Amino acid sequence: MTKYKRDGYIFVAPSRRPLKKYDVYRAKDNKYITSFGSSIHQQYKDRIGYYKKNDHLDPKRRTNYYKRHGRKARYESPKWYSNKYLW
């Protein structure tokens, strides 16, 4: 288990949930928030760092991802974390 502190959150990789990349905890009170990212798929760019080997950096795939999933996300939802830290 590897922990990364960033932007007031603690990211734990790999996730305890099957098929997820990261678990997220709030740094100030260590409260679990959510898990996000599919561990079986690549991402555009992993800004946390644990899964950098799966970065594809393909702008067309990034555009297609946003067409499928949209850019709007509720704050601190799994989609919000994916958009901010993986895509």
Q: Which structural domain, as residue segments, surrounds residue 18? A: 2-85
Q: What's the rounded Cα separation, in Å, for the pair 83 and 87?
A: 5
For residue 76, the model assigns a pLDDT of 97
For residue 47, the model assigns a pLDDT of 97
3-class secondary-structure state, position 33: strand
Q: Which of 41, 42, 25, 28 is nearest to 81 (CA)?
A: 25
**How many folded domains does the chain comprise?**
1
For residue 18, the model assigns a pLDDT of 96
pTM reported for the whole predicted model: 0.93
pLDDT, tens only, 15-59: 999 999 999 999 999 999 999 999 999 999 999 999 999 999 999
Name, in order, each residue with C-beta under 8 angstroms of 37's C-beta and a sequence gap of 6 or more: 15, 20, 21, 22, 43, 51, 78, 81, 82, 86
For residue 16, the model assigns a pLDDT of 97
3-class secondary-structure state, position 27: coil
